[in-house]
Structure 1
Amino acid sequence: MGLRNVRLLWLLGALALLLAIGATRLAYDRALKAQFAELNDRGANTLTLAAASLSGLLSRFERLPGLLAEQAALRALLRNPDDAGHVYAANRFLRENAERSGASVIYVMDHNGITLASSNYDQLRSFVGGDFSFRPYFTEAMAGGLGRFYAMGTTSQKRGYYFGAPVDIGRDRLGVVVIKIDLEQIERAWAYDGLRIIVTDTEDIVFLSYRSDWLFHTFGALDPARLALTRETRRYADADIGAIEHIRDTAPGGHAVLRAVAHDGGREEFLALRTYMPRAGWTMQVLLPTAGAYQQALALVSSVALALGLLGLTAFSLWQRRRQLAERLAVQQAAAAELEARVAQRTSELKSTNIALQEEVAERRMAEGRLRQTQAELVQAGKLAALGQMSAALSHEFNQPLAAARNYAENAAVYLDRDRVPEARDTIGQILGMVDRMTRISRHLRNFARKPNEQLRPVPLVDAVSGARDVLAWRLDKTGVTLELDLGVPAPVVTGGLVRLQQVLVNLISNALDVIEDGAEDRRLHLCASQQGEMVEITLRDHGPGVPEALQARIFDPFFSTKEVGKGLGLGLSITYNIVRDFGGSLRVANHPQGGAVFTLTLRAASLETVEAAE
């Protein structure tokens, strides 16, 4: 890139920055005006509702003094102010009406301003006997009108609004009925709603405020004449009237704002909206903090600026990428010739490599064939080894009953020669028992060797265990191992196949016998079964060294064996695992806390009724 292009780029960047700053400032002003307009609308609605609620509260009590002035109990009291009975009746009457209407206090004064009866007659700060002739509501009512006045009570020290109505009997004006309304309840309601509302009286003194430190203070200079009038009427009793430090200004859009000292000593700004309440002569103001408006405008402008910045950055990135792309195209065109020259060379190399790869694939296929043949030979060798062990077992198992049968036959011949027929008959019975035993062993071994095609059905666990025990009886006797059974009463019924379940049990017991034959001191096997809901759990525990944790995950893999070379091919537990999985069950191994391995066989439970139906 040339020097001229660099200068042009810097110039365009500076111009874009100036335009962005100007646009951001303009957008901020517009956003701030919009936020203040929205804040003004919200404040106007709040001001309307607050003024209506306050006016409604005053209107609710405005006619009540005139109605009470017509009541007989009050008229009787004013005719006979010294009669204790009339005083008591008037006090009770005023108490009931105050509680019913919700007024703070209702009381009756004579024509001199002395309180004769009051709803708070029995309280510590009772109005009875008080002289309130200095209050404007008394003088206005004695003049024949409806007295209105807002002040702090000189007796109760509570702020309230007073309504006074004259009591006329004939042409005589004997006294005044006064109702005091507690406006602090509406101030508390505003505070509960989080509103910032202040109300000033005719002398511009704050008498209702969300801030207690502003009460009985003005937002302007204290007018001596107004201050004297306030003290003459004792509107705020003996409270000190002060001034609130503030600044009034104009916000964007021409809205009036008020800046005053916050509670924490800092400065806070409010959008100030006011309305005049002509009936009471008050001015109500709603103050809305403007900090949120500034933050919203700033956030909006920041978002727009960020979007514009991202847009500019994207445009610059695209321009940069296009420039780099042009450079790459030039480099690619320069390298195209060299690439074409290399293509021919690489093509020939790929051909030779492809030929070598095909030859390697052919060799791998031949190796896989040899591997499969080797695996088949290993399986066959395992079968031959199993047949060798089985033939030895058969030889041992059949030789004993054959030798016994021969001895019994010789004895039977001797008994027959001696005409001892009963003894000969018993001896022949022994020979038949030996034959039955060999037949039973032959049947179990034949079933064990046969490849079953049976479907899953209910199998009594007792039958499977009995068959497996008959097949392995010769090994149990030879090794001196005791097979302890705990199948429960009644023994459970499982879902599976009788022959294959016998094969599973034979494999598991045979493995346990192999472990015990290696020199275990405790020569016991524990075969237990228990039904757990819809499943039957069968455990076989030995007292050998157990299975190392590192080998437990591989013990069911094909061709994996922990025995010495020549003592097994590692297929027994793998076959057993697959049979159990076909039954819909599971097989796992763990070590017992007191020593030895525990094989846990879990099968689905069946019922005896299902067995009988299947038969």
Structure 2
Amino acid sequence: MRKIWLTWARLGVLVVLACAAAIWGGTAATRIYLAETAARGQTTLRLAVAALHGHMRRYEPLPSLIADHDDIRELARRPENPGLRAAANRYLKEINGLLESSDIYVMAPDGVTIAASNYDEPLSFVGENFSYRPYFQDAMKGERGRFFALGTTSLKRGYYYSAPIRDGEAIRGVVVFKVDVDVIELSWRGSDHVIIVTDPEGIVFLTGRDEWRYAGLEPLTPERLARTHASRRYADARLYPLPIESHGSEAGHALMTIGEANGEPREYLVLSEPMPEAGWTVKVLLDTASARAQAFTALVAIFLCLALAGMVAAVVLQRRARMAERMALQQEARETLERRVAERTRDLAAVNSRLETEVAERRATEQRLRQTQDDLIQAGKLAALGQMSAALSHEFNQPLAALRTYADNAAVLIDHDRIADARENVRRIAALTDRLASISRHLRNFARKPNQKLGPVDVREVVRDTLEIVAWRLRAAQAELVTDIGEGPLMVRGGAVRLQQVLVNLITNAADAVEGRPERTITLRASRQGGQVLISVSDPGPGVPDAIAGRIFDPFFTTKGVGKGLGLGLSISYNIIQDFGGNLLVANAPEGGAVFTIQLAALDLGASREAAE
């Protein structure tokens, strides 16, 4: 009897130990699977935050550049001038189309919109007052504003950047740049997780779940609603609390249970990362159902193993004498199997961790590469602006100095009654004035957006206008340009301004190639050969090595030093000539140096007149 009682006592202890082990094992399994889910979510969270940062930073400096534009600053000084308003509207519409942004508009100090890129659309911003927006208030304080909101006029969500329009120490208005964020939200749909972005009041405004948009993660107290309505961040959109049934944590992870439309609540593991510069919080919600199911499966497996162990233990207790050796062998085999399974599991977990780390590093490297390319393009734009400023200063200062000298001399000659000499000085002043007007006209024509339609173009006129543009660069390089284009007209089919852009780029590159060399003579030839017109630009520079000749027209490929070019000029020129139906070739001259040849279809004079009519 005592043995039976002792046997049942031992069985009871084993049952208690088995239950405790199962509970501990289930808790450990839950912790492990939640940790794996959180690791996947952290990768998704980092990628989402990086994508938001990259999309926002692309447009951040643009309002300041637009605010510094001469037409915009002049409009801020004279906002009632209809001509300035029309010019500003056209300029903003053109920039908005090039940058593929949502809207760009200019506001007066009282908050009234005086120019907008959508001036000719039914829902135009012109005349609307947005002084209640924080981005306007920040800009009027002299700061750069940032704000996310639902447009009160367009009812489209967007991120707003603003910059003040300065006139000396005074602020004459505000430039606002609106960026569409729908493209980011679309990329979040169709995944097994939910990404949401909340504002400082805890309201969801970006999410892959449409039914959660404008829902509050925090209670919508009167104070929160008052702050939101003051800025009209969401216009007339209905704000409502998200049906959160409970908050909690387990194994160090934040959990949230949300009611679903079908009545079945769903538990999510919540990962968060703030974006303080925008005032946002990015959250990734991962459904814990899979982790719970895996943990339950592990718990069942543990129970089965323990039940099997209990049965084996009962058999051992009943037949200890006969089965001791066999049970020892079974125990050893089981331990060996468990050890191998554990080792294999650890190996697989380590491999998975390394793969996730490598993927994250490669994605981060790709993001840094894209950011670096954007920075290089921006630096190239600023460098081009600096070169153009230097060119204008050099071209205009010498004639202006001569004008002042001739004017002073004319006054002295008049005082000495030398009227004929004074008249000669006045004639020279008029000639210099014509020279300044010619330079300004050519630069203005070169800066004007070209007409996309193709038509007859006289190569001689294009070459003449090109010489006006590149004269400053040739003088800077101490280079001489020799032209050989014959006597008669050379007509081709294309666009005059874009063909001029190609010639300016080829001659400027030639000037770069010969700068500092003993021989600095650049030759431009144009002639008709059969049904084609050939235009060539040759220089006595170092030429093009055979190793890079096949890549010289690729985007971002350049042989210049750091800071001297982005490698886009020849690529753009090649595409322009291709649009004309021609070809752009490069070769090395037998006597040395590079020769770039443009091949275009020739037009007869009569046919070109009919095309023009």
Length-normalised TM-score, structure 2: 0.49
